[in-house]
């Protein structure tokens, strides 16, 4: 029940990676046959991923994880803006982004970069108008998460992308900007990649982040889509790999695994989404019927097929998760990346909830192996725990 945090590697993905650990182990930068063979694996993976995103293969950059990709998008954009003589750069993002985005943004505030943190509505949805009202000639980057990792809300990325583009077009004459220049639009699509449309042209994004670990692929490999013509300053220097944008010997087996995992996820996207929506809605309905003290965080419909985030009035969510774990059920209190902070989820707090309410919230996230039988067992366990607590 914690598939948003981590997924097991699909057996087909394991098989796709196996040859490149010890048999076809060449360095992709070498010019001998082993190196050329390894390079071909990478380029084929790049083409496969580009085919899904409807992008060019040379627009796919491999990184070692989503955290690096998110930092690369933000830091790379801000550090490169000097070429366009933007002296007082600004960023527009949301208050419910992943900590990697928020941390990267905060790191630049120390150097005078102005960051606008847009708060969502009570249902967890960001209004496009709240973003566009902050657009100005100094805006370098707009970064809005496609689907939230905690409450599962799906943002109107296509609508935001169109609004940013229209603003750029309207300002072209006054600011002497090309419409492909600033502001850049980036989306963290890590949680969306199993279920939602990823056509970068339809979405209107110039930067997009994907992560293998959330799509039944290996950990330690991810993608940053960088639209042709977008200038980013590298944040890792060295051998000039990935068109000079990301130095370091490419991890051939993990890249092959990522491409396979992504292809599988897209092939089963529609069918699996439909199945999980049925399970999700059943789970939510039954949870809410257990007690008047249980409520749903985030929008009931505009959310990921696998996401259920609830608040149980009066509980300590960390202790409750431990109790669930003792009964063989894995759930989470917030993003695994910041769960050690001891504070309530910044996402829940941004919905207008109190610290107490944030510490009463729990996320369940379904996956490919989740069954109705498992959900019924979870419901029974929650009911028993609540009864025990009230005795």
By annotation, the residues acting in catalysis are 337
User: Looking at residue 115, what DSSP letter applies?
Assistant: E
Q: How far is CA 2 from CA 17, 146, 149, 301, in A?
A: 25, 19, 11, 20
Burial of 23 (0-12, 13-18, 19+ CB in 10 A): exposed
- Interatomic CA distance for residues 288 and 296, integer angstroms: 8
Can you spell out the DSSP letters for 214-273? GTTS-SS-EEEEE-TT-----SS-SS-TGGGTS-S---HHHHHHHHHHHHHHHHTHHHHH
Residue that has been written with the tokens 């982004």 in this structure: 97
Classify the C-alpha dihedral 55-59-64-66 as positive or negative. Answer: negative
Classify residue 112 by its DSSP letter: T
Instruction: For residue 140, give both structure tokens.
Output: 């370098």
Q: Which two three-digit tokens encode residue 376? A: 């019924």
CA-CA distance, 74 to 79, in Å (whole number)? 9
CA-CA distance, 265 to 353, in Å (whole number)?
34
CA 1 to chain centre: 18
Q: Residue 204 forms beta bridges with which residues? A: none
Q: Helix axis angle, 372-390 relative to 317-326, nearest 10°?
A: 120
Q: DSSP letter at 59?
A: G
How do strand 207-211 and strand 222-226 relate by DSSP bridges?
antiparallel
Cα separation, 60 vs 280, in Å, equals 33
């Amino acid at each position: 029940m914690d598939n948003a945090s981590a997924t097991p590697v699909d057996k087909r993905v394991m098989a796709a990676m196996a040859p490149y650990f010890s048999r076809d182990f060449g360095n992709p930068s070498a010019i001998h046959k082993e190196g050329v063979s390894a390079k071909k694996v990478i380029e084929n993976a790049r083409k496969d991923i580009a085919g899904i995103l409807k992008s060019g293969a040379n627009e796919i950059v491999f990184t070692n994880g989503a955290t690096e990709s998110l930092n690369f998008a933000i830091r790379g954009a801000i550090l490169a803006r000097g070429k366009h003589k933007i002296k007082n750069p600004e960023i527009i993002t949301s208050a419910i982004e992943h900590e990697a985005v928020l941390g990267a943004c905060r790191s630049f505030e120390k150097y005078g970069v102005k960051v606008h943190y847009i708060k969502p509505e009570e249902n967890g949805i960001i209004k496009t108008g709240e973003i566009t009202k902050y657009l100005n000639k100094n805006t370098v980057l707009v970064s809005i998460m496609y689907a939230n990792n905690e409450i599962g809300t799906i943002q109107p990325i296509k609508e935001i992308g169109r609004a940013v583009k229209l603003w750029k077009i309207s300002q072209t004459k006054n600011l002497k900007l090309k419409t492909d220049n600033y502001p850049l639009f980036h989306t963290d699509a890590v949680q969306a990649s199993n279920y939602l449309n990823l056509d970068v042209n339809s979405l209107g994004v110039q930067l997009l982040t994907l992560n293998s670990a959330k799509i039944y692929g290996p950990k330690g490999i991810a993608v940053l889509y960088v639209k042709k013509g977008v200038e980013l300053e590298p944040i890792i220097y060295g051998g000039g790999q990935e068109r000079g944008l990301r130095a370091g010997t490419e991890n051939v087996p993990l890249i092959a695994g990522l491409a396979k995992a992504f292809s599988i996820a897209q092939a089963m996207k529609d069918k699996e989404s439909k199945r999980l929506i049925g399970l999700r809605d059943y789970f939510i309905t039954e949870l809410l019927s257990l007690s008047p003290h249980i409520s749903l965080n985030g929008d009931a419909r505009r959310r990921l097929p696998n996401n259920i985030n609830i608040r149980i009035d009066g509980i300590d969510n960390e202790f409750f998760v431990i109790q669930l774990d003792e009964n063989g059920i894995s759930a989470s209190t917030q993003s695994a990346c910041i769960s050690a902070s001891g504070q309530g989820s910044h996402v829940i707090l941004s919905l207008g909830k109190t610290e107490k309410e944030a510490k009463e919230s729990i996320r369940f996230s379904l996956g490919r192996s989740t069954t109705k039988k498992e959900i019924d067992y979870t419901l029974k366990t929650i009911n028993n725990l609540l009864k025990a607590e009230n005795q």
